[in-house]
């Protein structure tokens, strides 16, 4: 006798939604819900703010920026590479800044030239700033093998592409570079507000295939925006093995509007999601004084 009719009539004892999926992925740490948006003009401040918090914990770090030229060549005040270079205290030790466009590389060289070599007490600031002209998908190998990225070096990589410029194989290369320590932390920008239009306009299928990096790239047209976001988050977690992966919405304008990008933050560090949540909430607020920040982050005051 089959059990099927009995089971069909049986009410659920438990709601299936109460059970996590059976894929053994690490549980996401809880963070406060978002109550104020970060919008496109502030996305660079958001990244800088997070890194400022992080170096209070590590006191060192390497910053890779694969698509490092400013969003607008005339508006360099909200430019991530510049803001991270100028962020105090200047504890980030190694910078690798890459851009494909010659005029953007010139701007990177110019900002490098204006950086102070000594601090307010006359001590030498121990840092190197390396500028690369060319396609980051090719340059990534040179950067990774430059010698600064040891297993213990806290390393962050901003992938602020416009739409399809960053190949998935590049993301994989970064994620798999370290063998033992926390993986290179990634800030990956996923275009959202114009992605359907970009798909329709992009007739070179190789571009899409390299960007997505999997044979199912043809399915992307049929997915909703949320499905695409969730698929990428899942890949960072399942295929690349990050402990926490969260997609932070970047809105069109101050009072909301469309989600223009998701900033997908992939990290292995247990403190990182909390610091990113703090950075999101504080992005447009004045910088906390150093002593206040130390107290709030639970660090020893000086
Ligand atoms: C969205 S902008 C970066 C914005 C910047 N993060 C900011 O805070 O203003 C993208 C940059 O990537 C550069 N780019 C485009 N394709 C590239 C590639 N394959 N490799 C390196 N840079 C690239 C563009 O020249 C542009 O400067």
Rounded Cα distance between 69 and 72, Å, is 8
Q: 46 CB under 6 A from ligand 1?
A: no
Please give the backbone phi and psi of residue 187, each rounded to the nearest 5 degrees, phi first. -115, 100
The terminus-to-terminus CA distance of the chain in angstroms comes to 76
Tell me the DSSP string of 261-274. EEEEEEE--TTHHH
Rounded Cα distance between 67 and 48, Å, is 15
Q: 211 CB under 6 A from ligand 1?
A: no
Q: 96 CB under 6 A from ligand 1?
A: no
pTM here is: 0.91
Q: Which atom of ligand 1 is nearest to the CA of 69?
A: 27
What is the distance in A from the centroid of ligand 1 to the CA of 139? Answer: 13
Assigned CATH for 25-296:
3.40.50.150
Nearest CA to ligand 1 atom 18: 135
Res 7: pLDDT: 39
Measure Cα distances from 111 to 61, 70, 86, 131, 162 in Å.
19, 11, 10, 11, 22
Rounded Cα distance between 214 and 169, Å, is 10
pLDDT along the chain (302 residues), means of 10: 40 52 80 82 94 93 97 84 95 97 96 93 93 98 95 96 97 96 96 92 93 91 92 96 96 88 96 94 89 84 60
């Amino acid at each position: 006798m089959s059990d099927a009719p009995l089971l069909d009539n049986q009410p659920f004892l438990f709601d299936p939604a109460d059970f996590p999926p059976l894929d053994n992925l690490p549980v996401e740490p809880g963070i406060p819900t978002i109550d104020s948006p970060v919008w496109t003009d502030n996305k660079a401040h958001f990244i800088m703010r997070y890194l400022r918090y992080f170096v209070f914990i590590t006191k060192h770090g390497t910053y890779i920026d694969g698509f490092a030229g400013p969003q607008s060549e005339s508006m360099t005040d909200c430019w991530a590479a510049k803001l991270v270079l100028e962020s105090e205290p200047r504890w980030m030790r190694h910078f690798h800044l890459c851009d494909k466009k010659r005029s953007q590389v010139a701007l990177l060289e110019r900002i490098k030239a204006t950086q102070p070599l000594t601090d307010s007490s006359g001590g030498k600031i121990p840092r190197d700033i390396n500028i690369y002209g060319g396609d980051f998908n090719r340059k990534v190998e040179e950067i990774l093998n430059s010698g600064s990225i040891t297993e213990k070096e806290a390393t962050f990589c901003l992938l602020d592409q416009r739409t399809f410029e960053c190949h998935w194989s590049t993301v994989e290369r970064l994620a798999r570079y370290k063998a033992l320590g926390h993986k290179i932390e990634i800030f990956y920008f996923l275009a959202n507000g114009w992605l359907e239009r970009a798909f329709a306009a992009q007739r070179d299928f190789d571009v899409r295939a390299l960007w997505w990096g999997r044979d199912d790239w043809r399915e992307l047209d049929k997915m909703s925006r949320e499905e695409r976001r969730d698929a990428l988050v899942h890949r960072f977690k399942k295929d690349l093995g990050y402990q926490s992966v969260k997609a932070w919405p970047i809105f069109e304008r101050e009072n909301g509007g469309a989600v223009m990008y998701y900033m997908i933050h992939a990290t292995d560090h247990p403190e990182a999601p909390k610091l990113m949540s703090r950075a999101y909430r504080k992005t447009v607020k004045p910088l906390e004084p150093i002593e206040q920040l130390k107290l709030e982050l639970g660090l020893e005051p000086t």
